[in-house]
Amino acid sequence: NVRIVFHTLTKEDLAEGGVLRADRD
């Protein structure tokens, strides 16, 4: 399954382009 999880905003997330990240189970 693929789920979208919300992250707190960090410099790493900004570098990757946003706070949304798709995690594969």
25 vs 24, residue with greater confidence: 24
Residues 6+ apart with CB under 8 A from 23: 2, 3, 5
Phi, psi angle pair for 12, to nearest 5°: -65, -45
What is the percent of the chain where pLDDT is above 70?
0
Q: Residue 2: which pLDDT band, with cuts at 50, 70 and 90?
A: low
Q: Residue 8: which pLDDT band, with cuts at 50, 70 and 90?
A: low
pLDDT, residue 23, reads 60
Report pTM. 0.22
Q: Is there a contact between 13 and 7 (Cβ–Cβ < 8 Å)? A: yes
- Is 11's pLDDT higher than 60? yes
